[in-house]
């Protein structure tokens, strides 16, 4: 039987090493015993941007990027998106199982109970300028929650963790909606007990006056589905930030704010906003070939295309494209859809994109749907952050109870000066 080991010969010394292979990986610290002389630090791996490094074991989300597979706790994303609610999926992410009917009722009740925010938090949001980006408000407000719940710092206590998880899942839609209304100068709408999670969020966003907000069920269902698709995506940039920051044992509000900050970037969750701005910039279908030419010449990127892991198709994008048809039937077609479809058509036939395995990702069409639903473009990253909070917290919890995890602290290859002596100010040139 083949041995589950890797044999290495160090040609500097002629020495041979046997390194165990477990789960298709070698433990990087095993390489430390490979030394040129006993004083050596030992061999390290160099992997900027973690192209080929597993930083943890995780049982939450499985992705096969070549086959376009995404599963939460073993369930294919397509099945969850078709049949579940976001809160059912959040339960699955935290507790490893889909809830029974009584468990779901209990879970929904707990989340609802935490949907209100303290008056002082409302005043904090008031303090932002009228044109503040809602994601900036969101990040700062989530961080500020740590000052309201100082007991949250006891992150090794399972009951404390459970409490903060419910609080965060419950409060993020309220914070998002308040950030949105603050910009418009509209009075805040508080959560209502008789509304579900998605209905409540929609009502806090769009309700006017005292009339009950009653959007078409197709739109509520579409938003629920979008939240499911965005709930987790294993070790992406923001989840790695959550794990990295959380590994210092800081409270979950501070760690979630850090994760949200990572999500804000245009290469990650900010891409949905960037796609819409790109479509605006293109302006007309006739300008698409010129735009693609510029992208190929290195003058900018085709936003919403490409993925670190998916090199075939993004299964979320497939669900979203179908969803777009259902939503546009209710709202009317987003006029930018024609530009997006033409961009996709040209890019998928073009050698540049084909050879680099660049396909539409989750953000390519999600923004068009959000816009058709009435969400302004700069709230898009916040719409990503609300459901991803479940994924961040599931990973945070998993990291804290994993005995193999310690404070995240990568190594570096030092490229600076060798030791040199201090030069007094009057002798410097």
Distance CA 234, CA 296 (A): 30
What's the first-to-final CA gap in the chain, in angstroms? 67
State which residue, 57 or 356, has the beta carbon closest to ligand ACO.
Answer: 356
3-class SS of residue 64: strand
305 binds ligand ACO (CB under 6 A): yes
Is residue 277 within 8 Å of residue 291, measured between CB atoms? no
CA–CA distance, 177 with 184 (Å, rounded to integer): 11
**Toward ligand ACO, which CB reaches closer, 71 or 301?**
301
DSSP string, 316-381: HHHHHHHHHHHHHHHH---TTHHHHHHHHHHHHH-HHHHHTT--B-HHHHHHHHHHHHT--GGGHH
> Is 307 assigned a catalytic role?
yes
Pairing mode, strands 61-64 and 69-72? antiparallel
CB of 171 to ligand ACO, least distance (A): 23
Structure tokens at 11: 């040609």
Q: For residue 18, list its beta bridge partners.
A: 7
Total of residues contacting ligand ACO (CB under 6 A): 18
CB nearer ligand ACO, residue 251 or residue 363:
363
Find the catalytic residue in 91, 133, 182, 307: 307
Within residues 350-389, the interface with ligand ACO by CB under 6 A covers 356, 358, 361-363
Nearer to ligand ACO, 136 or 266 (CB): 266
Asked if 284 is an active-site residue, the reply is no
Query: Among residues 271, 369, 372, 385, which is the contact residue for ligand ACO, using CB under 6 A?
Result: 271
Under the binding rule (CB under 6 A), the answer on residue 267 touching ligand ACO is yes
Residue nearest to ligand ACO (CB): 306
Q: Are 220 and 202 in contact (CB under 8 A)?
A: yes
Q: Which ranges constitute the DSSP H helices of 268-314?
A: 271-282, 288-296
Q: For residues 278-297, which are near ligand ACO according to CB under 6 A?
A: 295
Of residues 268 and 322, the one with the C-beta less far from ligand ACO: 268
Options 99, 304, 315, 367; binder of ligand ACO; rule CB under 6 A: 304
Residues binding ligand ACO (CB under 6 A) = 267-269, 271, 295, 301-308, 356, 358, 361-363
Enumerate the active-site residues: 268, 307, 363
């Amino acid at each position: 039987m083949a041995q589950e080991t890797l044999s290495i010969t160090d040609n500097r010394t002629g020495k041979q090493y046997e390194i165990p292979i477990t789960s298709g990986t070698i433990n990087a610290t095993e390489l430390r015993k490979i030394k040129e002389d006993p004083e050596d630090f030992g061999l390290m791996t160099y992997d900027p941007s973690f192209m080929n490094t597993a930083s943890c074991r995780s049982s939450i989300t499985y992705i096969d990027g070549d086959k376009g597979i995404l599963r939460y706790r073993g369930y294919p994303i397509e099945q969850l998106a078709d049949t579940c609610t976001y809160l059912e999926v959040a339960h699955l992410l935290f507790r490893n199982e889909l809830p029974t009917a009584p468990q779901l009722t209990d879970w929904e009740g707990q989340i609802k109970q935490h949907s209100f925010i303290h008056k002082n938090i409302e005043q904090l949001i008031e303090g932002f300028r009228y044109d503040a980006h809602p994601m900036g408000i969101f990040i700062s407000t989530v961080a500020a929650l740590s000052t309201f719940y100082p007991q949250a710092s006891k992150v090794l206590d399972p009951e404390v963790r459970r409490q903060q998880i419910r609080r965060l899942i419950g409060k993020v839609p309220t914070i998002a909606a308040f950030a949105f209304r603050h910009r418009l100068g509209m009075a805040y709408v508080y959560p209502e007990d008789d509304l579900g999670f998605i209905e409540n969020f929609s009502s806090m966003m769009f309700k006017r006056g005292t009339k009950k907000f009653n959007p078409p069920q197709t739109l509520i269902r579409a938003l629920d589905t979008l939240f499911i698709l965005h709930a987790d995506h294993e070790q992406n940039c923001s989840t790695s930030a959550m794990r990295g920051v959380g590994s210092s044992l800081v409270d979950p509000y501070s760690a979630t704010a850090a994760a949200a900050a990572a999500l804000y970037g245009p290469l990650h969750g900010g891409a949905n906003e960037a796609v819409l701005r790109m479509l605006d910039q293109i302006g007309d279908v006739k300008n698409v070939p010129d735009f693609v030419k510029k992208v190929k010449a290195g003058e900018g990127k085709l936003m919403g295309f490409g993925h670190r892991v998916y090199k075939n198709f993004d299964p979320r994008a497939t669900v979203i494209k179908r969803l777009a048809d259902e939503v546009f039937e209710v709202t009317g077609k987003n006029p930018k859809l024609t530009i997006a479809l033409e961009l996709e058509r040209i890019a998928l036939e073009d050698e540049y994109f084909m050879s680099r395995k660049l396909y539409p990702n989750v953000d390519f069409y999600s923004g068009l749907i959000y816009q058709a639903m009435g969400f302004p473009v700069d709230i898009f990253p916040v719409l990503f952050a609300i459901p991803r909070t479940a994924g961040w917290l599931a990973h945070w919890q998993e990291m804290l109870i994993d005995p193999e995890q310690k404070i995240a602290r990568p190594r570096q290859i030092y490229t600076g000066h060798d030791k040199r002596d201090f030069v007094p100010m009057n002798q410097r040139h």
